[in-house]
Amino acid sequence: MKNVIKSILDHSIESLSLTIFLLYIHLADLDARADWILPYLLASTAGVGAMVYVYRRGLILNRLFVGITLYFCSGLVGLITGWDWLNQTYGDLGAVAMLGWILLAGLIASLISPYGFLGVKTPGYFSVIGGSLLLLVAGLLATAAAANFMDNKLLGEWLPFIFFFSIRSLLLQLDKKMLSAAATAA
C-alpha cells in the first residue's frame, strides 16, 4: 500500500501547484492586488515543494511544471515587490505568459540538461535533442494558439495546455514503446 501511495504521489504531486491556483482563482473574490498574493504564494510553495520532493526521490522533473512553478514564483515576486507592471502584463497575456515560462524552462533544459526538455534518461524513438525540439515546437504552437485566441477561454487557455501536455505524453509513450521494441528484438 505504501508503494502505491508513493507511486500516485510521484505521478501527481507536480500538478498540485496549478490545481491549487486554478481552484483558488475560480472560487475566491480577487478584486484587489493584495488578494492575489495568497494564490501565488500557495501555488509557488506547492510547486517548489513538489520540485524538491521529485528531485529528492531521484525522479526527472516535468519541465512543463517547472515552467509553471517559475511563472508562479515570478508572479509572487512581482506582487511582493510592488511590480504591478509584471502582474498587469501577466493578466493581459493570460495563458501566453505561463506558456512563455514553460518554453523558457524547456529551452534551458534543452541546452543544459542531459535529459532535455522531454526529460528522458534513455532516449528511444527520438534523440534527446529531437524530443526536445519536437516539444519546443509543440510549445510554440500552443503559445501561438493562446495568443491568437486570448478572448476565448476554450481556444486560448484550455486547449493550448491540453495540446502541450498531450504532445508531451505522446512523445514519452513513443519513446517508451521504441525502447520496449528494441529490448524485445535484442
Top-confidence residue, 129 or 2: 129
Residue ranges per domain, the chain? 1-81, 94-186
pLDDT at 133: 95
Average pLDDT estimate for 145-160: 95
How far is it, in rounded angstroms, from Cα 169 to Cα 160? 14
| Rounded-to-10 torsion of CA 139, 145, 151, 155 | -90
Average pLDDT estimate for 144-165: 96
Closest-CA residue to 131 (of 78, 101, 165, 167): 167
Mean pLDDT of the chain: 91
Q: How remote is the C-alpha of 16 from its chain's centroid?
A: 11
Q: What is the pTM of this model?
A: 0.90
